[in-house]
Structure 1
Amino acid sequence: MSTENTALNNSAALTDSGIVSDKKTFFRSITEDWWALILGFIIIGVVLYLTRNGTNISLPAYKWTSQTDLFEKILSPANLLLILETGIVFLVLAGFAIFLSGGNVLRFTAGFLFIYLLATISFIIGGNKNVAYYGLEYVVFALLIGILLGNLIALPAWLKEAVRSEFYIKTGLVILGTSILSADLIKAGLPGVIQAVIVVSAVWFFSLWLSRRLKVDDEFGIILASAVSICGVSAAIVAAGVINGDKRKLSYVTTLVLIMAIPMMVILPWAVKYFHIPEVIGGAWLGGTLDTTATVTAAGDLVGPVAVKAGVIAKFSQNVFIGVAAFFIAIWWAYKKPKNNGELAASIKVERPGLKVVWERFPKFVLGFIVASLVFSFLLSVDTAKSVAPALNGLRTIWFAIAFISIGMEAKFSSLVKLQGGKPALTFVVAQIFNIFWTLLWSYILFGGYLLPVPDFK
Structure 2
Amino acid sequence: MSVLSRLRLLAPGLAVLLGIAGIARVLGNSIPALSPLIVAIALGATLANTVGVPDWARPGLNTHSLFLETGIVLLGVRLTLGELAQTGPIVLGLATGVVVFGVLYMELVIGRLFAIRQRTTSLLAAGASVCGVSAVLAVAGSIDVDETDITYAVATILLFDAVTLVLFPVAEQSLHLSAKQFGIWTGLSLFSTGPTAAVGFAVSETAGQWATVTKLVRNTFIGVVAVGYAVRYATAETDQIALSKVWNRFPKFLLGFLVVVLVANLWTLSAGELNFVGRARSWLFLLAFAGLGFDIGFDEIREAGLKPVLLVFIHLLTISSLALLIVVTIF
Compute the TM-score of the two structures, normalised by the length of structure 1. 0.51
Q: CA deviation at 1:285?
A: 7.2
Q: CA deviation at 1:390?
A: 1.4
Q: Are 2:69 and 1:173 aligned? A: yes
Q: Which runs of 5+ in 1 are unaligned?
A: 1-23, 25-94, 100-104, 227-234, 270-278, 302-307, 339-348, 448-454
1:159 to 31, 45, 57: 57
In structure 2, relative to structure 1, the CA distance for the partners of 1:336 and 1:314 (3 Å cut) is same
Post-superposition Cα deviations, 1:402-449, rounded to whole Å, max 9, x if no partner, equal 4324324xx3x3332231x123332333223212432244346x63xx
SS at match of 1:202: helix
Instruction: Quote the residue 2:84 is aligned against.
Output: 185
Compute the TM-score of the two structures, normalised by the length of structure 2. 0.66
Q: CA deviation at 1:141?
A: 3.1
Instruction: Quote the residue 1:147 is aligned against.
Output: 49
For residues 6-405 of structure 1, the aligned pairs below 5 Å read: 96=3, 99=6, 106=8, 108-132=10-34, 136-150=38-52, 155-164=53-62, 167-170=63-66, 172-173=68-69, 175-179=71-75, 183=81, 184-188=83-87, 191-203=90-102, 205-207=104-106, 212-213=111-112, 214=114, 215=116, 217=120, 218-226=122-130, 235-236=131-132, 239=135, 248=155, 251-269=158-176, 284=181, 287-289=184-186, 292=196, 315=211, 318-329=214-225, 331-332=227-228, 351-354=237-240, 357-364=241-248, 366=250, 368-381=252-265, 383-384=268-269, 387=274, 389-391=277-279, 393-405=281-293
- Amino acid corresponding to residue 57 of structure 2 in structure 1: L
Q: CA deviation at 1:372?
A: 0.4
CA distance in 2: counterparts of 1:130 and 1:358, whole angstroms: 47
- Amino acid corresponding to residue 69 of structure 2 in structure 1: L
* Structure with more helix by fraction: 2
In structure 2, relative to structure 1, the CA distance for the partners of 1:107 and 1:260 (3 Å cut) is same
Instruction: Quote the residue 2:144 is aligned against.
Output: none
Greater RCO (Cα-Cα under 8 Å, separation 6 or more): 2
Q: CA deviation at 1:237?
A: 6.2
Residues 268 and 286 in structure 1, CA contact (< 8 A), matched pair in contact too: no
Post-superposition Cα deviations, 1:93-143, rounded to whole Å, max 9, x if no partner, equal xx94973xxxxx756533442344234334444454433379945323322
Residues 239 and 326 in structure 1, CA contact (< 8 A), matched pair in contact too: yes
Give the share of equivalent positions with the same residue, in percent. 11
Instruction: Quote the residue 1:422 is aligned against.
Output: 306
State the Cα RMSD in Å: 4.6
CA distance in 2: counterparts of 1:140 and 1:157, whole angstroms: 21
Say how many residue pairs are matched.
301
In structure 2, relative to structure 1, the CA distance for the partners of 1:262 and 1:331 (3 Å cut) is same
CA distance in 2: counterparts of 1:374 and 1:331, whole angstroms: 24
Q: CA deviation at 1:393?
A: 2.3
In structure 2, relative to structure 1, the CA distance for the partners of 1:173 and 1:432 (3 Å cut) is same
CA distance in 2: counterparts of 1:130 and 1:158, whole angstroms: 34
- Amino acid corresponding to residue 239 of structure 2 in structure 1: P
Post-superposition Cα deviations, 1:207-247, rounded to whole Å, max 9, x if no partner, equal 46567444272434432333xxxxxxxx4365467568766
In structure 2, relative to structure 1, the CA distance for the partners of 1:157 and 1:331 (3 Å cut) is same
1:438 to 322, 325, 328: 322
CA distance in 2: counterparts of 1:367 and 1:96, whole angstroms: 25
Q: CA deviation at 1:384?
A: 4.2
CA distance in 1: counterparts of 2:80 and 2:109, whole angstroms: 31
CA distance in 1: counterparts of 2:93 and 2:17, whole angstroms: 42
Q: Which runs of 5+ in 2 are unaligned?
A: 142-149, 191-195
Residues 138 and 245 in structure 2, CA contact (< 8 A), matched pair in contact too: no
CA distance in 2: counterparts of 1:287 and 1:112, whole angstroms: 32
